[in-house]
Chains A and B, each alone.
Chain A
Amino acid sequence: MTVFKGYMKIVKANIGLILMYLVIFLGITMMIQAVTKDTGGGSYSAESVQIGIVDEDGGVLAEGVKDYLGQFHDVTLMENDKEKLQESLFYRNLEYIVKIPGGFEEKCLEDGEKLEVTKVPGSYTSFYVDQQITSFLNSVKTYYAAGYSASDAVDSALDRQDASIKMMDINGNAGEIPGYTYYYRYIPYLLLCVLCYVLGNILSAFRKGDIPKRMQASAVSSRRQNLEALLAAGILGGALWAVCIAGGFLLYGKELLKSSSIPYYLINSLALLFVVLALAYLVGMLTSNTNALNGIVNTISLGMCFLSGVFVPLDILNKEVKTVAQFLPIYWYEKVNDTLSQFGNITGSVRAEVLQSIGIQLVFAAAIVCVAMALSKKKRIAA
C-alpha cells in the first residue's frame, strides 16, 4: 500500500488547502441555500388597504359594508368634502374611497345599483377591494332575493364563513418543500469545487516532472497504482461527503430525522460523490498546472451547476436546456432531489424513478472513470 500511503501523506501535507476550500465553499453553499429558501415564503399575504367611507345613507346595508371592509382593511369614516377627499388620495393617506349615497340600500337591493368608488390610479390593491365589495353586495342581494329581510341578509352575509378547503396530501409532504432540499440542491457545487481543486492538486503532485516515469518503472503495477490512488481519493471524498451530510444534520437536524426520504437523499448524494470523484480524477488527469486547473474546475463546476438545476431550479429551465442537461450527471442528481422534495412518502413508481436516476449517475461515474483510465494509459504510452 505504498502508493496509497504516499497519497495520504500528500493529503496530510495539503490539509490546510483542503480545509480552506472546504470552509469557503461550504460557506458559499450555506449562504446561497439560505437566501434561496427565504425567497419562497410571504409572496401571497393579504394586504390591508386604507379605505375612507362617506356614508350618506346610514342604513343597514351601509353599516354592513363598513363592518365587512373593516374586517380586512383600515376603515376611516369621512365627511363628503370633495377637496379633503382628493387631498387624502393625493398624499396617499387613503388608497380607496367608498361613497354610499342616500337611498343606496333600496336602489342596490331592488335595482342592483353599484357603489361609487374613487381610488389611487394604478393601485393593484384597489382591484382586490373592488372584488370584496362586489362579493359582499352580491351575497346580500342573494339572501334578500331569497326572502331575508335587509337586516338579516346583511347579518347572514357578514357571518358567512369562508369555504373550508381541505388539501389532499397525496405526496405526503403537506404541499411544502422542506428546507433541507435547498441544502441538498447545492451539495453538487460544494463537492465539485472542493474535490476537483483538492484532488487535482494532489494528482498533480504525482504527475510533476519525471515522477510518473519513476512510478512506471517501479515494481508496482500500473493497475495497483491506480487502484490505490482511487482508494485514497475515495477516502478523501468519503470524508468530505460525511462533512456535507453532517452539515445538513447540523442545520436541519430534527426536520431531516423525521423525513422518511432521508435514506434516498443519502444514497443520491453518495451516487453524486462517485460521479464527482470520477470527474475530479479526470480533471486531475487533464492538467498538472495549478492555474489551468483553476480554470477547468470553475468551468466544469459552474457550467454543470447552472445547466443542471443547482443554481436555477429545474422547473424554470427551458426545454432545450433540460435536453442538454440530461447528458450531465448532476441533472439526474437534481431530478432525484426534486422528486424527493415533492413526495413525502416514496413508494412504487416514484421509488423506481428515483432509483433509475441514481443508477444513471452511477453509469456516468463508471463512464468517466473509463475515460480517465484510457487517458491515463494514453498519456503513459505517449510519455
Chain B
Amino acid sequence: MIKIENLVKRYGKLLALDHLNLEIEEGEIYGLLGPNGSGKTTAISCMLALLKYDKGTISIFGEEMSPDNYGIKQQIGIVLQNVAVFDELTVYENIDYFCGLYVKNSQERKKLVAEAIEFVGLEEYIKMRPKKLSGGLLRRLNIACGIAHKPRLIIMDEPTVAVDPQSRNRILEGIQELNRQGSTIIYTSHYMEEVEQICTKIAIMDHGRSIAVGTKEELKSMIKTGETVTIEAVVLGTDQIKDIRLLPHVFDVKYDEQVLTVRCTGAKHNLIRILNYLQENEISFGRVFSELPTLNDVFLEITGKELRD
C-alpha cells in the first residue's frame, strides 16, 4: 500500500532522513517509534508531500506521491501533532469545514460529520468553540477533523501528546476501531506503551533511519533481554556486583543509587537466583520488580541509549 525507498531529506547540514525504507500493508496499524528528532514527523511530511525530499521514492496506493496528486490525497486523512482547528468556528463547523475539503456533496457530508462527532463522543459540544474545550476534547476534535471523510489511510502524528490518561485510552480505542472499520493507520509516537498496545507492526526509528521493523513480538525476539530484574534499597559491594554478573543467564548488571538492575536472557528462574544470592549473603533489600522485555529494551540494545534520552 505504501512503499518508501531510500528516502533522504536534509535540512542544511542536518540529515533528517537517512535512506529510509518502509513498506506498509493495507489494514495495518503501523507504528513509527523513535525519540524526538528521530525523523518520524519528517517522514510523514514527505509522505504527505508537504516537504520536498532530496532523494528516494514514495508510492501510495501504487502511485507515486506528489504535491499535485489529489487522487491520493483524497483518500488520506491526517491528524497532526498540534491541534489544527479554527478557534473562530464551532466544533460542528470545524469538522464540516475539514470534511468539506474532501466531500463536496452536502447531504453526504452532513451524515459523515454526524458519524465523526459520534465516533469521538463530542455530541454535547457541537456548538462550542474550541477554546472552551478541555485538552482531551480538543484532541478528539482534532481527530474528528482528520477522519470525518472516512479515508482509506489515516496518518496520525503523536495524537495523544499532552492528553490525560482517560482521554488517551479513549483515543487509542478509537484508533483500533477505525482500523477495524477498514482504515490503514500510520501512527507515530515516542510513547512505547501506546505503540505496543495498538500497533500491528512497528518500525523503530533513530537518526532518520529505520533500525528495526516487525511485530512487537518479532522485535523483542531480536534482542538478548528476556527479563529485567530491578531491586531497590539494596547495599552492595563491588565483589557482590561481580558475583551477580556471574550468575547464570545474567548479561548486564547496573547498580546506581542503591538500585540494582539486572538484565537476563530469556531463561526461567532468574529472579529466584538473584534473590537467593542476596539471602545467602544476608543482604537486605526493598521492593523487587521483574519485567518482560519492552520496546525500550529493544531500542536500548540496538542503539545503546534509552528511547526517551
Q: Which of B70, B74, B88 has the largest number of chain A CB atoms within 10 A? A: B88
Question: Are A209 and B89 within 8 A (Cβ)?
Answer: no
Question: Are B68 and A210 within 8 A (Cβ)?
Answer: no
| Given known contacts A205-B86, A205-B88, A221-B70, A214 and B102 CB-to-CB distance under 8 angstroms | no
Say yes or no: is B100 at the interface (Cβ < 8 Å to chain A).
yes
Complex Cα spacing A214 to B101, Å: 10
Question: Are A215 and B101 within 8 A (Cβ)?
Answer: yes
The stretch that binds A, out of B76-84, B160-168, B188-196, B281-289, is B76-84
- In whole Å, how far is A352's beta carbon from the nearest beta carbon of chain B? 45
Q: Which residue from A214, A216, A221 sits with its C-beta under 8 Å from B98?
A: A214
Give the residue name and chain of the B residue nearest to A217 (CB).
Answer: B48
Complex Cα spacing A15 to B303, Å: 56
Question: Are A211 and B84 within 8 A (Cβ)?
Answer: yes
- In whole Å, how far is A3's beta carbon from the nearest beta carbon of chain B? 8
Question: Are B76 and A210 within 8 A (Cβ)?
Answer: no
Q: Which residue from A13, A209, A217 sits with its C-beta under 8 Å from B88?
A: A13
Question: Are B102 and A10 within 8 A (Cβ)?
Answer: no
Name B8-56 residues within 8 Å CB distance of A: 45, 48-52
Say yes or no: is A165 at the interface (Cβ < 8 Å to chain B).
no
Bits for B134-170, please: 1 = Cβ < 8 Å to A, else 0: 0000000000011000000000000000000000000
| Given known contacts A9-B93, A205-B88, A210 and B101 CB-to-CB distance under 8 angstroms | no
Question: Are B50 and A217 within 8 A (Cβ)?
Answer: yes
- In whole Å, how far is A202's beta carbon from the nearest beta carbon of chain B? 9
Contacts of B73 in A (CB 8 A): 217-219
Bits for B76-117, please: 1 = Cβ < 8 Å to A, else 0: 101011111111110001000110111010000000000000
Contacts of A213 in B (CB 8 A): 45, 48, 50, 78, 80, 84
Name A334-367 residues within 8 Å CB distance of B: none
Question: Are B70 and A219 within 8 A (Cβ)?
Answer: yes
Say yes or no: is A92 at the interface (Cβ < 8 Å to chain B).
no
Question: Are A13 and B89 within 8 A (Cβ)?
Answer: yes
Complex Cα spacing A294 to B19, Å: 45
Say yes or no: is A14 at the interface (Cβ < 8 Å to chain B).
yes
Question: Are A219 and B101 within 8 A (Cβ)?
Answer: yes
Say yes or no: is A220 at the interface (Cβ < 8 Å to chain B).
yes
Contacts of A210 in B (CB 8 A): 80-84
Contacts of B70 in A (CB 8 A): 219-221
Complex Cα spacing A220 to B97, Å: 12
Q: Which residue from B76, B87, B89 sits with its C-beta under 8 Å from A217?
A: B76
Q: Which residue from A205, A209, A216, A219 sits with its C-beta under 8 Å from B50?
A: A216
Complex Cα spacing A381 to B51, Å: 6
Say yes or no: is A6 at the interface (Cβ < 8 Å to chain B).
yes
Q: Which residue from B68, B104, B145 sits with its C-beta under 8 Å from A214?
A: B145
| Given known contacts A213-B80, A217-B76, A2 and B97 CB-to-CB distance under 8 angstroms | yes
Complex Cα spacing A214 to B74, Å: 12
Complex Cα spacing A205 to B76, Å: 23
| Given known contacts A213-B50, A214-B145, A381-B52, A6 and B87 CB-to-CB distance under 8 angstroms | no
Say yes or no: is A257 at the interface (Cβ < 8 Å to chain B).
no
Contacts of A10 in B (CB 8 A): 86, 88-89
Say yes or no: is A84 at the interface (Cβ < 8 Å to chain B).
no
Q: Which residues of B contact A (CB under 8 A)?
A: 45, 48-52, 67-68, 70, 73-74, 76, 78, 80-89, 93, 97-98, 100-102, 104, 145-146
14 pairs of residues in contact across A and B, judged by CB atoms under 8 Å: A3-B101, A9-B89, A13-B88, A205-B88, A208-B86, A210-B81, A211-B84, A213-B48, A213-B50, A214-B84, A216-B67, A219-B102, A220-B70, A383-B50
